[in-house]
A and B are shown apart, each in its own frame.
Chain A
């Protein structure tokens, strides 16, 4: 292999390395998620979840429905029994239209973890009432 070819090989490898680095996803839960929840199949409410992760600090933090009625997620538990099974549980106090606050527990499982538009779905409960939720991570417009 000549000198020019070796240089080209090096440049190609460098370009590939940059591409690979720029497509790193980071923590699978981090990002903005949109979907809905409901205590029945017909009564659904839109749901937005923003998750952040600070490795040397607060760990996983999150915000539900950013804006006027936003609420911080509490008692976050992430269990990973095996690399493909990510179970994510959190609690949140949400206000309804009348201003009444209800305590909800979301217990979900991450699906399609290798896909940028992965999903998080599971049970959504309030006291004895049990429903479900489904969220899909938003894809960046620029991707």
Chain B
């Protein structure tokens, strides 16, 4: 089958549009059933669709070894409905996170709730756990 130039261009365009969809996934595809509770300092916040990510440094009190965890929350619009604003969390804030570990064993988890240690304020993280298959 001969594909015209227009056909190739259309295919390329479709692939370009499809790329962001790859970032969207179901809870079950990435996370298992192991709960995790982490306390650490915020190092980065990615306020973007389809999921907000934030990163925390968790220090082992014995060895002082630091592990940087990536924590996934819901979409920006979803967590805003849970009381989040872009200023809710700042770099250096100590947070306590309840979530579920990733299946791949990496320091990655889906956050269910986030407590700001300084104020005790608890915010839902818009987790997709139990919502999507």
Contacts and interface: CB of A to CB of B under 8 A. Distances in A.
Contact of A142 (B10, B16, B17, B46): B46
Contacts of B70: 141
Interface of B: 5-6, 9-10, 12-13, 16-17, 19, 23, 40-44, 46, 48, 51, 53, 55, 57, 59, 64-66, 68, 70, 72, 91-92, 94, 108
B83 to A, nearest CB: 23
B9 A46 contact: no
Interface string A16-36: 101100000000000110100
Contacts, number: 83
Contacts of B59: 46, 67
Determine the main DSSP class of A at the interface with B.
mixed
A32 B6 contact: no
Interface string A60-77: 000101111010000000
B108 A5 contact: no
A54 interface: no
Contact of A138 (B13, B48, B51, B55): B55
Interface residues of A, number: 29
Contacts of A138: 43-44, 55, 68
A5 B5 contact: yes
18 contacts: A2-B6, A4-B6, A5-B5, A8-B13, A11-B9, A12-B16, A15-B17, A16-B16, A48-B68, A50-B43, A63-B91, A66-B42, A66-B43, A66-B91, A67-B41, A68-B41, A70-B41, A138-B43
Nearest to B66: A46
A9 interface: yes
Contact of B64 (A45, A48, A68, A70): A45
